[in-house]
């Protein structure tokens, strides 16, 4: 591999790790097994969405997840995460609302203790990798929703276009109907004008007939 390319990859991944490490908060927090070291990740996603994706993500590690009684925690028993431990681990986690977004709080039991950055630095780095995978999945699922919404909008726009096309067909048909009616009326106007002329002549003839009868009446009265 090209030396410059190798150096670039190392720098890139180092930067990525440091960037996400700033997003993780480590603190001792209360959970179902008492006060234990937790790793906390703030997320810019709705809590319902983040929680759903987290539950799906946990399935990748082959453990059995269930809700802890009288708690909002999810307990994942015997999860297999090779980059954290060669043995299975137990995960306790909870996703909660946090301002406009949400927050993931995770406790990981290695069997010999809960993960923290001082006693289990390698496992702690593994948790950061796990969080990276979760954030990637969140982004993917969020984009899928965005894509679905845009596809729905496209369908709505296509329906609107179809309505406009049908309306245009109606307008064109109305125009053709009106043209035919206009042509018919133009013919009727010509016929009507001729009929008016004929009627005027008939009226004039009738007037003349009346005049002749009036003359005839006048002569008869004299």
Is the separation of the CB atoms in 99 and 43 below 8 Å? no
Cα–Cα distance measured from residue 103 to residue 47, given in angstroms and rounded to the nearest whole number: 8
Q: What is the mean pLDDT of the chain?
A: 90
Strands 34-43 and 64-67, by their bridges, are: unpaired
- pTM value? 0.70
- Separation CA 128–CA 108 (nearest Å): 12
Percent of residues, the chain, with pLDDT higher than 90:
86
pLDDT digits (tens, 9 = 90+) for 190-217: 999 999 999 999 999 999 999 999 999 9
CB atoms within 10 A of CB 103: 17
- What residue ranges define each of the domains in the chain, with the CATH number in brackets? 3-147 (3.30.310)
Q: State the DSSP code for 1.
A: -
Sheet of strand 34-43: strand arrangement: 24-31, 34-43, 101-109, 89-98, 74-79, 64-67
C-alpha span between 4 and 10 (Å, rounded): 10
């Amino acid at each position: 591999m090209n030396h410059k390319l190798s150096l670039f990859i190392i720098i890139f991944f180092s930067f990525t790790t440091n960037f996400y490490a700033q997003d993780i908060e480590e603190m001792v927090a209360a959970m179902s097994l008492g006060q234990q070291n937790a790793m906390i990740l703030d997320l810019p996603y709705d809590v319902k969405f983040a929680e759903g994706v987290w539950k799906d993500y946990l399935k990748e590690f082959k453990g059995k997840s269930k809700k802890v009684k009288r708690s909002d925690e999810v307990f994942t028993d015997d999860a297999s995460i090779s980059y954290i431990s060669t043995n299975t681990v137990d995960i306790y986690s909870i996703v909660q609302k946090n301002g406009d977004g949400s927050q993931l709080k995770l406790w990981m039991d290695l069997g010999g203790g809960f993960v923290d950055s001082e006693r289990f630095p390698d496992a702690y780095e593994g948790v950061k990798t796990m969080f990276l995978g979760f954030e990637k999945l969140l982004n993917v699922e969020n984009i899928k929703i965005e894509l679905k919404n845009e596809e729905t909008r496209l369908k709505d726009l296509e329906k609107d276009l179809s309505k406009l096309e049908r309306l245009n067909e109606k307008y064109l048909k109305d125009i053709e109907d009106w043209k035919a009616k206009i042509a018919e009326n133009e013919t009727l106007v010509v016929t009507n004008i001729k009929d008016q002329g004929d009627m005027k002549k008939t009226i004039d003839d009738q007037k003349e007939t009346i005049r002749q009868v009036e003359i005839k009446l006048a002569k008869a009265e004299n």
